[in-house]
Amino acid sequence: MHTVVVGTSGVTASDVLAVARGGARVELSEEAVAALAAARGIVDALAAKPEPVYGVSTGFGALATRHISQELRAQLQRNIVRSHAAGMGPRVEREVVRALMFLRLKTVCSGHTGVRPEVAQTMADVLNAGITPVVHEYGSLGCSGDLAPLSHCALTLMGEGEAEGPDGSVQPAGELLAAHGIAPVELREKEGLALLNGTDGMLGMLVMALADLDALYKSADVTAALSLEALLGTDKVLAPELHAIRPHPGQGASAANMLAVLKGSELTGHHQDDAPRVQDAYSVRCAPQVAGAGRDTLAHARLVAERELASAVDNPVVLPDGRVESNGNFHGAPVAYVLDFLAIAVADLASIAERRTDRLLDKNRSHGLPPFLADDAGVDSGLMIAQYTQAALVSELKRLAVPASADSIPSSAMQEDHVSMGWSAARKLRTAVDNLTRVLAIELYAATRAIELREGLAPAPASQAVIDAVRNAGVQGAGPDRFLAPDLAAADAFVRGGELVAAVEKVAGPLQ
């Protein structure tokens, strides 16, 4: 099994994906263990002094003015975890919780949190045992970290609350730890706070969304090319010299992908056969510009994620010179903004795909295709209601594009009076990514059927490879009306599993 070694300098996106989705094992480097011990020594020294230090010998948030005596500090750390584990709503997905735990471990291992090495090792042991704390949808405002989600994870480390075992069953966390030979941790000064105070949930969801969208933007280039072909459009607008004079990198990459898909097609270039059409509609002609802008948004979001993956987010933090300082690095604004930005780009990509699908189904705009791509229009409805489904998805995506980070709601008796709502931005982005996949699946379904209805003209070899592969995957072609939901589900699985891009790349080579 693949192993990810966590050091003091952060982790990579591929590390997060390996642990969250691939079940990779986690190990602590010797460097990390040494840094943990050194930082803990600083915290222990401060804890022994009579002067109050926030997070070490005081309360938290609006209660930070109270000095806590030594005999109550262990209780303080237990209490912060128990009281902050106040999430509600549906359970969060296993991959999100694993990413959350792993990224908190990443920060702990930086040597800036003051957590003991044995606590960090227990975090790794829980991940390696396949134990997943039960975390709920609601409870994070994206400031002071993803407090409730992280608290539910810390509760599991203490042997309390509920968790899911590797077999998928939910049990008391203490029983699961015991079954895997893991001793619950007894938290000491600052450790409870350090386990709760990070942007790890929203960052984990950003990393996974970036991986999913990287594949979906390639898929969108393919479905756009298939629609252009089915509409007898021109590929001249994809010429590299046209995109070189507006040198946005994403735009050039999308145009190149579409051109690669369409190479050798007999269907393109017939846009002038049925005058007065001299150029294609925007949804066809401007596909690289829209998808390209989204690709460049992904690049910016990836840069933010890389910076965050190299960060140590906690409050207070232990500095190399021995100071323990309060700070505001836990604020989720940098991550929240790009999560919202991606949701906007996703909604627009889905919107332009839906417009192409609608054009394929409209006999007045499809340039010779039957109404709704039906076998016997009137008796058959064809893909009429598939487009309704696509339209409903796009409408939902537009609502999901409303930025969560534009909102703030005060908490903690006005001490935490401006929050990022980054967790909410991440949750809605996950829904948006799912819906984009479905929208592209419907465009794929319509475009492949439309190409098959263009008799006498051969599609591009890459397009034919897609048609062959999607039919082999259980997505049926043209014909009389039938129960459509299974076809759409198969098309969704085809896009979601990467088979669409793989079919093209076998013929056209790697897409950008």
Catalytic residues: 54
- Cα–Cα distances in angstroms (integers) from residue 350 to residues 225, 228, 384, 392, in the given order: 15, 16, 18, 11
Phi-psi region of 478 (alpha: psi -120 to 50; beta: other; left: phi over 0): beta
Three-state SS annotation for 249-317: HHHHHHHHHHHHHHCCCCCCCCCCCCCCCCCCCHHHHCHHHHHHHHHHHHHHHHHHHHHHHCCCCCCCE
Check if the beta carbon of residue 6 is closer than 8 Å to that of residue 26. Answer: yes
The residue length of the chain stands at 512
The answer to whether 170 touches 119, Cβ cutoff 8 Å, is no
Which ranges in 180-266 belong to alpha helices (H)?
A: 191-194, 200-230, 240-244, 249-262
Q: Are 338 and 425 in contact (CB under 8 A)?
A: no
Q: For the chain, report the end-to-end CA distance as a whole number of angstroms.
A: 30
Burial class (CB in 10 A: 0-12, 13-18, 19+), 460: buried
Structure tokens at 200: 């790890």
The secondary structure of residue 286, as a DSSP letter, is T
- H or E stretch including 397? helix 384-400
User: CA–CA distance from 14 to each of 98, 342, 383, 411, 433 (Å)?
Assistant: 14, 20, 39, 35, 19
SS3 136: strand
CB 287 within 8 A of CB 224: yes
